[in-house]
Amino acid sequence: MTGLDLRRPGDPGSTLTLAHGRGRLLRVLSTTLVASWFLLPFAPLALWAFANQWSFPSTLPTEWGFDGLSSAIAQGALPALGTSLLLSLVVAALATPLGALAARALTFGTVPWPRTVSIALLAPIALPPFAAVLGLNVLLLRAHIPPEAGLVLVLVVMAVPYTTFTMRVAYAAHDIHYEEEARTLGASRWNILWRVHIPLVAPALSRAAFLAFLVGWSDYVVTVVVGGGEVVTLPLVTASMAAGIGNDSAVAILSLSAIVPPLALLALAGFAGRRPRTGAVQKTPNVGERP
Amino acid sequence: MVLPALVPAVFVVAGGVGAAAMQSLGLMPLVGPVRFSADAYTGQAEDLFRALGLSLAIAAVSTVIAAVFGVGTALLIVGGRWCGRILAATSAATVTIPHLIGAATVGLLLADSGVLARVLGVPPELWPSLVGGPWWLAVVAEYAWKESAFIALIVAGTLITRVARFDEAAALLGATRWMRFRFVMLPLALPALAISSTIAFVYTLGSYEVAWLLGRTYPEPLAVMALRLFNSVSLTARPEAAAAAVLTTLVSFLVVGACFWALRKTALWR
């Protein structure tokens, strides 16, 4: 979904389909329209975040300030931000290798009943999260699994379809001969993994990890039901504020703090993805030198 | 090597659905004797069907809007240059936002004292009740907004890998813009569009927080109904919540199954 390999201006052979004249105007207009469709919901956040007072008819806040910020912090925004980050990173750290292992095994045909296995791994996408946790909650309670572990388990399973799919696309284009070559030349398994295999699939791994991070970061209902009040993430705090009345500026601050971290990751990934090939090839030997 | 991923997935899917099914049939009571009964379904059949209808309607309308916007955005993205780059960036940014946060911001935007009403200078009593109103407009808007970005990225991702040559060949052969859309872009985009729309539809069907925050209390969609019953103190409520969960799961799997069956059938796959 992210880090798309876009055609850029100046790419060869695209002049035939370039729009001219009226078509071009139409294109710019529709781009503006679609961009505002995507950006419009962000507008209230920017205005409300630093509005101490905004009495009704005025089009702009009547008094600017940081009341929203302090009220959000008073509601526990900072620990919730930490919990959200930790939870999402744990989900990404678990779901990415699991997805990669499964994708590799499925791509290189070492799995019995590959179709059934792929369907089972993709099934969580079709499973409504609330339905899964209503049933699971009882099982987890009876098995005395702590809520934190149960929460991570469910979120990892919900992330695995995305990581598996991303890694399958990557392994489909992956040339396993590099690894065989390295093995012929006497490289150890560990060396092959760190110096050949992982560098070659690193972009896909980071895409998969980002998607898994988003699954943890975006979740609400699983955290509410399985977390059982023990785990308070940013969406939970935002929800309790948004369900009340008169918290608009705190809601805006909380929303902004939930929007910025994934956007920063996305920008980082986009930036790293901008200078691929040459950089990656030069860097490859260094990767294995990490302890 | 698939086992580390497969075992938890099977546990969550089969365990979750299985336990929900057993609870709904009275085979896994919190207290009291185990007694098989379909009361949880028959006793609230009318409510279940109303909730299902509402959930399906919300999911269908928002998915259709999202698909239209998504394909349009994907075409602009594939067109490249700065228009394409801006839209790729904005839709990628939209995808990363949690639905609950999206619901909160849409609420700030569309409520009767929301930012849009202020900017347009419409007094609350004249502002249409988008949030919590009878037509679930804010809920549909939030889903359509978020899912259109998702569909755009999936469709653009597929189109970019293979469309340029076909598009240019068609242009060279004298195809107009409309013909290139109708006979080149659309057929190539269709499998990705079908899959991403199905995912969006099923997600919307089983999603809780947006309808809970921006919707009204009655009638309620399946997810909201299930969680309200789940948190209720009454003893009969747990099986009823589980029944709503089982119904949603069945419909979701049916929809996804139908999508893949249709894709296979029409040989659009690959």
* Count of Cβ atoms closer than 10 Å to residue B129 Cβ: 15
pLDDT digit string, tens, across residues A9-60: 445 445 566 666 777 888 889 899 999 999 999 888 988 888 888 877 777 8
- Higher pLDDT, residue A282 or B185: B185
Substitution target in B81, B116, B179, B264 with the highest count of A β-carbons within 10 Å is B81
Question: Euclidean distance between the first and final Cα of chain A, in Å?
Answer: 32
- Candidates A34, A44, A156; nearest CB to B76: A34
Mean pLDDT estimate for chain A: 85
**pLDDT for res A281:** 40
- Candidates A102, A221, A262; nearest CB to B208: A221
Domains of chain A and any CATH numbers: 70-287 (1.10.3720.10)
Burial of B11 (0-12, 13-18, 19+ CB in 10 A): middle
Q: Are B205 and A45 inside 8 Å of each other by CB?
A: no
Rounded to an integer, what distance in angstroms lies between the CA atom of residue B56 and that of residue A257?
32
Residues 22-41 of A with CB under 8 A from B: 23, 27-28, 30-31, 34-35, 37-41
Q: How many CB pairs under 8 A join A and B?
A: 307
Q: Are A28 and B83 inside 8 Å of each other by CB?
A: yes
**pLDDT for res A14:** 53
- Higher pLDDT, residue A60 or A201: A201
**pLDDT for res B268:** 53
Residues 217-246 of A with CB under 8 A from B: 217-221, 225, 235, 238-239, 242-243
Helical segments of chain A, H only: 21-39, 43-49, 67-74, 77-107, 114-126, 129-142, 147-172, 177-184, 189-191, 198-218, 221-227, 234-243, 248-274, 277-287
Q: Considering only CB atoms, which chain A residues are within 8 Å of B10?
A: 120
Q: How many CA atoms lie within 13 A of B107 on its CB side?
A: 29
Rounded to an integer, what distance in angstroms lies between the CA atom of residue A260 and that of residue B149?
18
CB of A34 closer than 8 Å to CB of B87: yes
Angle at A43 between CA A37 and CA A47, to 5 degrees: 170
Section A105-123 average pLDDT: 89
Q: How many CA atoms lie within 13 A of B240 on its CB side?
A: 22
Structure confidence at residue A3 as a pLDDT band (50, 70, 90): very low
- Candidates B109, B213, B256; nearest CB to A41: B109
**pLDDT for res B105:** 93
Nearest residue of chain A to residue B150 (CA atoms): A1
Rounded to an integer, what distance in angstroms lies between the CA atom of residue B22 and that of residue A138?
11
User: What residues contact residue B150 under an 8 Å CB cut-off, 6+ apart?
Assistant: A1, B66, B70, B95, B196, B199, B200
Rounded to an integer, what distance in angstroms lies between the CA atom of residue A194 and that of residue A288?
5
Indicate the Cα dihedral angle A166, B246, A240, A65, nearest 10°.
Answer: 40
Flag whether pLDDT at A284 surpasses 50: no
**pLDDT for res A2:** 44
User: Which one-letter amino acid corresponds to residue B47?
Assistant: D
Query: Can the peptide bond before residue A128 be classed as cis, meaning omega within 30 degrees of 0?
Result: no
Section A81-85 average pLDDT: 96
Q: Are A27 and B76 inside 8 Å of each other by CB?
A: yes
Angle at B66 between CA B61 and CA B70, to 5 degrees: 155
Substitution target in A8, A29, A48, A127 with the highest count of B β-carbons within 10 Å is A127
Nearest residue of chain A to residue B71 (CA atoms): A34
Q: Are B153 and A1 inside 8 Å of each other by CB?
A: yes
CB of A124 closer than 8 Å to CB of B9: yes
Phi and psi for A51 in degrees, rounded to 5?
Answer: -105, 115
pLDDT digit string, tens, across residues A203-228: 899 999 999 999 999 999 999 999 88
**Burial per residue of A5-14, b for 16 or more beta-carbon CB atoms within 10 angstroms, e otherwise:** ebbeeeeeeb
**pLDDT for res B238:** 87
User: How far from B266 is each of A23, A249, B261, CA to CA, in Å?
Assistant: 34, 51, 9
Chain length of chain B: 270
Nearest residue of chain B to residue A122 (CA atoms): B9
User: How far from B178 is each of B65, B171, B221, CA to CA, in Å?
Assistant: 21, 11, 39
Q: Considering only CB atoms, which chain B residues are within 8 Å of A225?
A: 227, 230
B39-265: CATH architecture = Orthogonal Bundle (1.10)
Q: Are A111 and B2 inside 8 Å of each other by CB?
A: yes
Extents of the domains making up chain B: 39-265
Taking alpha carbons only, the member of B243, B115, B157 closest to residue A169 is B157
Could you report the predicted ipTM of this complex, rounded to two decimals? 0.91
Q: Considering only CB atoms, which chain A residues are within 8 Å of B255?
A: 126
Rounded to an integer, what distance in angstroms lies between the CA atom of residue A234 and that of residue B20?
28
Q: Considering only CB atoms, which chain A residues are within 8 Å of B30?
A: 138
Rounded to an integer, what distance in angstroms lies between the CA atom of residue A249 and that of residue B104?
11
Rounded to an integer, what distance in angstroms lies between the CA atom of residue A59 and that of residue A81?
31
The DSSP bridge partners found for residue A53 are A63
Task: For residue B265, give how far its alpha carbon lies from the nearest alpha carbon of chain A (Å).
Answer: 17
Nearest residue of chain B to residue A106 (CA atoms): B2
* Count of Cβ atoms closer than 10 Å to residue B4 Cβ: 15
Rounded to an integer, what distance in angstroms lies between the CA atom of residue A107 and that of residue A100?
10
CB of A209 closer than 8 Å to CB of A167: no
Burial of A145 (0-12, 13-18, 19+ CB in 10 A): middle
- Residue in the block written with tokens 């695209």: A14
One digit per residue, the tens of pLDDT, for chain B of length 270 reads 789 999 999 999 999 999 999 999 988 887 777 888 888 898 888 999 999 999 999 999 999 999 999 999 999 998 877 888 899 999 999 999 999 999 999 999 998 888 888 888 888 888 888 888 888 999 999 999 999 999 999 999 888 876 667 888 888 888 888 888 888 888 888 888 999 999 999 999 999 999 999 998 888 999 999 999 998 888 778 899 999 999 999 999 999 999 988 888 876 554
Q: Are A136 and B119 inside 8 Å of each other by CB?
A: no
pLDDT digit string, tens, across residues A130-166: 999 998 998 998 899 999 999 999 999 999 999 999 9
Q: Considering only CB atoms, which chain B residues are within 8 Å of A2?
A: 92, 95, 153
